[in-house]
A and B are shown apart, each in its own frame.
Chain A
Amino acid sequence: MSGIALADAITKKPVRRVRRTPMLPRWALIGGAGVVALIGSYPYYGSNGYMLSLLGKFLCYAVFALSIDLIWGFTGILSLGQAVYFGVGAYFVAVSLKLNYTLTHPTRYGGKIPDFMEWNGLTAVPSFMAPLMSLPFAIVCALVVPTLLALLFGVITFKRHIYGVYCAVITLAESLILQDFIIEYQAYTGGFNGITDYSNYVGAAFLWFILGVTAVFFLTGRVLTHSRLGTVLKSIGDNDVRAEFMGYNVANYRIFVFCVSAFMAGAAGAMYAAWVGLVSFLDTGPVYSVEAVIWTAVGGRGTIIGPFVGAFLVKGAEFFLSGTLAEWWQILVGGLFIFVVLVLRDGIVGTIANWVRRRSAGSFRQIAQEADRKAHDRQRDWQAEGATRHGEEAR
Chain B
Amino acid sequence: MRKIKRRTFLQSCAAGMGGILAGGTAPYFFTRSIARAAEGATIKVGILHSLSGTIAIIESSLHNAELLAIEEINAKGGVLGKKLQPVVEDPQSMVQVFAEKAKKLLLEDKVVAVLGCYTSASRQSVLPVFEQHNGVLLYPTLYEAQECSKNCFYTGAVPSQQLDDFVPWIINTLGRKKFYLIGANYIYPKETNREVKALLHKHGGQTVAEEYSPLGATEFSTNINKIASSGCDVVFSDLVGDQIVAFYKQYREFGITAKDIPICSPITTEQEIAAMGPENAAGHYTSFDYFQSVGTPQNKVFVDRYKARYGKNAVTNAVMQAAYFSAFFLAQAIEKVRSTDADALIYEGLPGQEFLAPEGLVKIDEKNHHTWLWPRIGRANEQGQFDVVWTRKNWVRPQPWVPYLYPNKTCDFSDKRVVERLKKPWSQEKDRSGTINM
Contacts and interface: CB of A to CB of B under 8 A. Distances in A.
13 contacts: A31-B10, A106-B433, A108-B146, A108-B147, A109-B146, A116-B187, A196-B127, A321-B28, A323-B101, A326-B51, A326-B52, A326-B88, A329-B52
Given A193-B124, A197-B124, A359 B90 contact: no
Interface of B: 5-6, 8-10, 12-13, 16-17, 20-21, 24-25, 27-28, 31, 51-52, 87-90, 92, 94-96, 99-101, 103-104, 107-108, 120-121, 124-125, 127-128, 146-148, 185-187, 190-191, 214-215, 409, 430-431, 433, 435, 437
B51 to A, nearest CB: 5
Contacts of A327: 51-52
Q: Mostly helix, strand, loop or mixed at chain B's interface?
A: helix
A183 interface: yes
Contacts of A352: 12-13, 16
Between A183, A193, A276, the greatest number of chain B beta carbons within 10 A of the residue's beta carbon is seen for: A193
B125 to A, nearest CB: 5
B198 to A, nearest CB: 14
Interface in A87-145: 104-106, 108-110, 116, 119-120
Could you tell me the dominant secondary structure of chain A's interface residues? helix
Interface of A: 26-27, 31, 48-50, 53-54, 57, 104-106, 108-110, 116, 119-120, 180, 183-184, 186, 191-194, 196-197, 276-278, 280, 282-283, 309, 313, 316-317, 319-324, 326-327, 329-330, 348, 352, 355-356, 359-360
B8 A356 contact: yes
Given A324-B31, A355-B12, 10 more contacts: A31-B10, A53-B103, A108-B433, A110-B409, A192-B185, A194-B121, A280-B94, A320-B25, A322-B90, A352-B13
Contact of A313 (B20, B27, B52): B20
A26 B3 CA distance: 11
A192 B52 contact: no
B28 to A, nearest CB: 4
Given A105-B431, A359-B8, A321 B186 contact: no
Contacts of B16: 348, 352
A196 B409 contact: no
B24 A278 contact: no
B431 A106 contact: yes
Given A282-B94, A327-B52, A106 B430 contact: yes
Given A48-B107, A197-B127, A186 B10 contact: no
Contacts of A321: 27-28
A108 B107 contact: no
B125 A194 contact: yes
A234 to B, nearest CB: 21
A355 to B, nearest CB: 7
